[in-house]
Structure 1
Amino acid sequence: MKPEEYHSKDYLPRGYYPWPDLISPHAEQMGKDMEGWIDNDYTFLTEKQREKYKKMRLHMCTARMWPDLTYEQSIPCNRFMLQYVALDDQVEHSSPKEMEQMRNRCTAILRGEQPKPEENALYQHIALIRDEFRALMPAIWVERFIHYFYQSFRYGIELEYPYKKAERPPSLHLFKTIREYSVLMRPYLIFGEIESGLVLPEHIFEHIVFQKMISHMTLTVAWQNDIHSLPKEMAKGTEVFNLVFVLQQQYNLSLAEACSETFRIHNEEMAGFMTLHSEYREFGEYQEHVDQFVYYAGVGLQGVNTFYLETERYLHGGAGFAWPEKIVNEKDLL
């Protein structure tokens, strides 16, 4: 198989998952909001990058993953979609020290510090996200969100760096460990608790079975992402953090063989998640809460798959991606 012959819909077509494929009734306004943020606040990006982000229509990812949010609830979720995607995209040329500074600063703002007037939209918007979530959700949930943000940045974005720098992937086993965090799904996953209004108490959330379900869910999205983002990453030529590339290197597979194995691993991951949920029904009075969490996670999985099939973000050749420009990162990100 030649790279140009690859199409992710051949593996993950629309409606692939056993949950409804929905969209928020507020999607149009969410799009207007995001375009306004990009034009008026994300001015540290170049005009070309801003146009790319607008064409990605990232608000549709929010609208499809969490379709039952009220408009008020959707605002911080939609704002975070843009903030975290842009942050992840634009740290490509940042050093480990710069990444650490960004992580510490974002976390400090989430915990209450105020951004300085000269700090860019990544910091101004994380403060708005904090305040909006605090107005909507209990303290236990806000702390959960901050913890997952920190985890994903510290053990996802930052741990990828040496392998990207060396342009060589880690072993499959280590890759799977890091990819669970570098897909950045954990802070997004708990948005389902906003939709349902059922916030899990810590003793349920930290239960080993529930945490294992979250691990399976997160990795399912990781392998889904690797399948859909492959055309963009093949174009880059130096990307190593994709399951297809890891499998090719470790087992000397062709592109077609590695894609088939990636799809198998994806299905195995999802089956593990669904099996745990169906077999372990010992959450007592909180079983309904867990079931609702799983339902909204499933809707999110279905929704992000549809988004991948519609967005320009992962076009062949990388034409739809807002590639980081080194001068912008060095001058303006910190």
Structure 2
Amino acid sequence: MKVEDYNPKNYLPQGYYPWPDKINANVEQMGIDYRNWIDTDYVYLSENIRERYKSMNLHSCSARMYPYASYERVTPMSRYVIFHTIFDDQLEYSTKEEVSRYCDRLVAIFRGDDLTPEDPGYFIQAAKIRDEFRAFMPDEWMERLAEMFYTVTRYGAQEEANYKSTQTVPSLALFKVLREYSIVIFPYFYLVDAEFNIFLTDEVERHPVIQRVRSLWSRIIAWQNDIQGLKKELSKDTEVMNIVIVLQRNYNLSLEDALTQAMKIHDDDLAELVALQEDLPDFGKYQEEVKQLFLGWGSLIQGLNTFYQVDTNRYDPECFAWPDKEPEALF
């Protein structure tokens, strides 16, 4: 198989997952808001990069991931999805130390730090996300979101930066652990809490089944992302942290064989996840809330895949918002 012949729809077609495929009723207004944010608080990016982000229709990603949220609740969710997408993209070539610096400042803002005159619009958006969520979610929930943002950035994005800078790949075993965090999806699950106005107690939150389910969901979205974005990543030599590329380099596989192995890993994780959903332990009075979260988490996976297939040019190599400034330009 040649790279130019690769089509992710042959591997992850729309409707691949066993959860509802819906879109938020506020999607049109979300699009208006999204483009306004790009032109208001992301002006430190070049006009070319801003136009590329507008063409990606990232508001549709938020609308499909959180289809049940009211407009009040989906607005900070959409801000977060856009903010985090730009964060991830524009630090593509950053060092571990640079990623750490940005992470520390963002976590401080999420936890309540005031903005300074030196903070660009990127950090202004982080403060708006914090304030909008605080209007309807408890402070303890916001702390969970901030802590999880730190965790995925510290143990995911920062660790991944080392491999990108050296153009080396880890073993498959290590990659599976790192990619679970470097996909930086764990905070998105807490947004489902906000979607349904649910706040799990610490006892339920720490339950091993909940922790395992979140791990599987994160991995599935990582494999989904790697398969959907493969053509973009194969268009440059700088991207190595993709399950298909890791399989190729570790085992000297053809592109087609590596894709087959990647899909097997994806489908095995999906099968385990569905089995756990069908045989939940007893969460007592929180049983129905946990079931509702499963619906939201499943819709997130399904919606994200549909977004890739239907709504966006994001992973077209010619349309991706490759960084055109040094990371220091963010400050």
Tell me by how many angstroms 1:280 deviates.
Answer: 3.2
Tell me by how many angstroms 1:279 deviates.
Answer: 2.4
Distance in structure 1 (CA, Å) of the matches to 2:240 and 2:303: 26
Q: Please, what TM-score do these two structures have when normalized by structure 1?
A: 0.96
Q: Which residue number in structure 1 is paired with residue 275 of structure 2? A: 275
Q: Which residue number in structure 2 is paired with residue 8 of structure 1? A: 8
Distance in structure 2 (CA, Å) of the matches to 1:72 and 1:279: 34
Per-residue Cα deviation, 1:152-205 (whole angstroms, up to 9, x for no partner): 111111010110011111111111111001111100112211222222111001
Distance in structure 1 (CA, Å) of the matches to 2:280 and 2:27: 36
Tell me by how many angstroms 1:133 deviates.
Answer: 0.8
Distance in structure 1 (CA, Å) of the matches to 2:319 and 2:237: 16
Distance in structure 2 (CA, Å) of the matches to 1:193 and 1:29: 22
Q: Which residue number in structure 2 is paired with residue 333 of structure 1? A: 330
1:31 paired with 2:31, answer yes
List gaps (5 residues or longer) in structure 1: none
Q: Which residue number in structure 2 is paired with residue 323 of structure 1? A: 322
Distance in structure 2 (CA, Å) of the matches to 1:139 and 1:169: 39
Per-residue Cα deviation, 1:67-100 (whole angstroms, up to 9, x for no partner): 1111111111111111111111111232322221
Check whether the contact 2:93–2:164 (CA below 8 A) recurs between aligned residues.
no
Aligned length: 330
Task: Show the 5 A alignment for 1:114-153.
Answer: 114-153=114-153
Task: Show the 5 A alignment for 1:221-236.
Answer: 221-236=221-236
1:284 paired with 2:284, answer yes
Distance in structure 1 (CA, Å) of the matches to 2:166 and 2:257: 25
Check whether the contact 1:27–1:59 (CA below 8 A) recurs between aligned residues.
yes
Task: Show the 5 A alignment for 1:1-334.
Answer: 1-310=1-310, 311-315=312-316, 318-327=317-326, 329-330=327-328, 332-334=329-331
Distance in structure 2 (CA, Å) of the matches to 1:96 and 1:163: 10
Check whether the contact 1:167–1:240 (CA below 8 A) recurs between aligned residues.
yes
Distance in structure 1 (CA, Å) of the matches to 2:208 and 2:149: 20
Distance in structure 2 (CA, Å) of the matches to 1:197 and 1:42: 30
Check whether the contact 2:24–2:69 (CA below 8 A) recurs between aligned residues.
yes
Distance in structure 1 (CA, Å) of the matches to 2:78 and 2:248: 36
Check whether the contact 1:93–1:326 (CA below 8 A) recurs between aligned residues.
no
Check whether the contact 1:60–1:307 (CA below 8 A) recurs between aligned residues.
yes
Instruction: Name the aligned partner's letter for residue 72 of structure 1.
Output: E
Check whether the contact 2:26–2:63 (CA below 8 A) recurs between aligned residues.
yes
Tell me by how many angstroms 1:255 deviates.
Answer: 0.1
Tell me by how many angstroms 1:326 deviates.
Answer: 3.5
Instruction: Name the aligned partner's letter for residue 320 of structure 1.
Output: C
Distance in structure 2 (CA, Å) of the matches to 1:275 and 1:284: 20
Distance in structure 2 (CA, Å) of the matches to 1:69 and 1:308: 21
Instruction: Name the aligned partner's letter for residue 326 of structure 1.
Output: K
Helix, strand or coil at the partner of 1:149: helix
Tell me by how many angstroms 1:4 deviates.
Answer: 0.7
Per-residue Cα deviation, 1:4-41 (whole angstroms, up to 9, x for no partner): 11000101111111111100110011011010011121
